[in-house]
């Protein structure tokens, strides 16, 4: 009987600007052998990001494109595109990345960029989504793993995690509860992609 030839592992690039807890969540699952992926690089716009230390602990090299060092911000975006093109990843994972990707990057990697957002999209897009939900007084909040398109937090939804807002819950408690859900659904979304299980049709994502 002929043995099955395993599919090549997907090459991943991570984009992060801050503490990197979602980066670590994905890397831990990869390290356990549960995601068929090769974490090739972390790219960060912040030379002080804690995500750099997390990447180093997992033997993932970091490329720093310091946002503050660019007097012309369009040069940053050009350098980012050049860097991504050189690496040629199968998937780009934005996990706490605080820059809006330019259309040129999204067009270069169509349906190959996944983002995690701390709200139940399409509600509460943009910054401070947890505070937006808390101030609005919703009874249910959560997070969304989605493909990135040329809008703001508007791409096809892959997975969502739900958090019930209990009586007396503070904004801080809500933020931490949502973060726990992020750590669950982002690795799962990456896993589904790397196993070729995601199908997009009419902007709806099916998990095969």
Whether 46 has a binding-site annotation, put simply, is no
- Hey, what long-range contacts does 77-80 have (CB within 8 A, 24 or more apart)? 77/102, 77/104, 77/105, 80/43, 80/105
- Torsion of Cα atoms, 23 then 26 then 32 then 35, to 10°: -140
- According to DSSP, the β-strands at 10-16 and 62-64 are unpaired
Whether 22 has a binding-site annotation, put simply, is yes
**Known catalytic residue at 183:** no
Whether 99 has a binding-site annotation, put simply, is yes
Contacts of 103 (CB under 8 A, 6+ apart): 150
Whether 21 has a binding-site annotation, put simply, is yes
Whether 5 has a binding-site annotation, put simply, is no
Whether 100 has a binding-site annotation, put simply, is yes
Q: Which residue among the candidates 58, 77, 117, 146 is catalytic per the annotation?
A: 117
Whether 32 has a binding-site annotation, put simply, is no
Binding-site residues, please? 20-22, 73, 98-101, 115
Give the residue numbers annotated as catalytic, written as ranges. Answer: 117
Binding-site residues for (6R)-10-formyltetrahydrofolate, please? 73, 98-101, 115
């Amino acid at each position: 009987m002929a043995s099955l030839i395993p599919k090549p592992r997907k090459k991943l690039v991570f984009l992060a600007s801050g503490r990197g807890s979602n980066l670590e969540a994905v890397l831990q699952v990869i390290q356990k052998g549960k995601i068929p992926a090769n974490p090739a690089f972390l790219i960060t716009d912040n030379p002080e990001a804690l995500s750099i230390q997390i990447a180093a602990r997992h033997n993932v090299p970091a490329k720093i494109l310091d946002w503050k060092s660019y007097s012309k911000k369009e040069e940053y975006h050009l350098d980012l595109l050049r860097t991504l093109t050189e690496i040629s990843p199968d998937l780009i994972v934005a996990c706490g990345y605080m820059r809006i990707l330019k259309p040129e990057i999204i067009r270069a990697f169509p349906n190959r960029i996944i983002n995690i957002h701390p709200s139940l999209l399409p509600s509460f897009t943009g910054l401070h989504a947890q505070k937006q939900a808390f101030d609005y007084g919703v009874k249910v909040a959560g997070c969304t793993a989605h493909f990135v398109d040329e809008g703001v937090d508007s791409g096809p939804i892959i997975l969502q995690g739900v958090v019930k807002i209990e009586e007396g819950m503070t904004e801080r408690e809500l933020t931490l509860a949502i973060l726990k859900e992020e750590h669950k659904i982002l690795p799962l979304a990456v896993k589904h992609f790397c196993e070729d299980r995601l199908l997009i049709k009419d902007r709806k994502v099916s998990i095969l």
